[in-house]
Amino acid sequence: MDVPQASPIFARRINQDGIDLIKEFEGLHLVPYLCPSKIWTIGYGHTRTVRSGMVIDAAQADLLLDEDLRLFERAVVRLVTVPFNDNQFSALVCFAFNVGTANVESSTLLRLLNRGWYEQVPAQLMRWNRANGEVFGGLSRRRAAEARLWNRS
């Protein structure tokens, strides 16, 4: 008797422009460092499994990034209830990667987007340019890059 096979689950992936944006703004760090939010970080913004004295190579950094991106891709798919294109999806994954899923989930950005107010997203992104209450130029540039990616068709 044939056993029905489970259908493959479609996993939406960030596009190369989104990956490039993350890599540009995170930079590649082969040893741990404290980011502006005082969180130990390695590779391209990886924080979950960083240990003191850890050293990685570029290939390991890419693997860690891919694992991290899977988490944020699934979160964006789960949280956003309206349709969006690949650039919009990638911009949101980049944003979530930087600020965390919980912050996206509780954000005005998500609430407005899920109402279908797509045009509000770039301005909402720009509000997320602070670390520890201080405006950071790098975060302002990153949010502007995410907004540009969001607006590309």
State how far the alpha carbon of 106 is from the alpha carbons of 11, 12, 112, in Å. 24, 22, 11
CA–CA distance, 85 with 3 (Å, rounded to integer)? 36
User: Are the C-beta atoms of residues 140 and 127 closer than 8 Å to each other?
Assistant: no
Q: Residues 14, 19, 86, 80: is their CA dihedral positive or negative?
A: positive
Helix H or strand E encompassing 34: strand 29-34
Q: Tell me if residue 146 is catalytic.
A: no
With residues binned 3-state (H G I as helix, E B as strand, rest as coil), the percentages for the chain, rounded to 5, are: 55, 10, 35
User: Are the C-beta atoms of residues 30 and 64 closer than 8 Å to each other?
Assistant: no
CA–CA distance, 64 with 112 (Å, rounded to integer)? 31
Among 24, 26, 73, 105, the active-site one is 26
Q: Which residues are catalytic?
A: 26
